[in-house]
Amino acid sequence: MRVKGGNVSKKRHKKVLKLVKGHRAGAGKIITSAMQSMMKALRYAYRHRREKKREFRRLWITRINAAARMNGLSYSQLINGLKLADIDINRKMLSDLAISDPATFSNIVNVAKEKLASLKATA
């Protein structure tokens, strides 16, 4: 008596069809199309998990730049001033401060400005 993989195949197919539920046309119903659709979707998901990190950093930098310019500095000058002042704060926290607590952000910008001014005075 030979063994056929009916139950195993059915389980595997159900698992794939569950993952592609909601995909358009045959990609959500036909197993061969569903397999291709699933593999493509998983590749996109993998890639976009990495892209998300880049996009958030860009967003934070844009927000910091806007807030810094309102306080009279550009983004690059602010970051340079913070490095000179040995203030180690990441861009996510700076962006959050710029939105939620502008007064504290202004204080940080003023410290950076003072360091930049003292650097110019010595040069």
Report the alpha-carbon distance of residue 113 to residue 119 in Å, rounded: 10
pLDDT at 39: 95
Is the pLDDT at 116 greater than 80, yes or no?
yes
pLDDT at 103: 95
The pLDDT of 63-91, averaged and rounded, is: 94
What top-level class would CATH report for the domain 7-122? Answer: mainly alpha
Nearest-CA neighbor of 75 among 101, 55, 95, 97? Answer: 95
Report the alpha-carbon distance of residue 68 to residue 106 in Å, rounded: 8
pLDDT in tens, 12-62: 999 999 999 999 888 889 899 999 999 999 999 999 999 999 999 999 999
Predicted TM-score (pTM) of this structure: 0.79
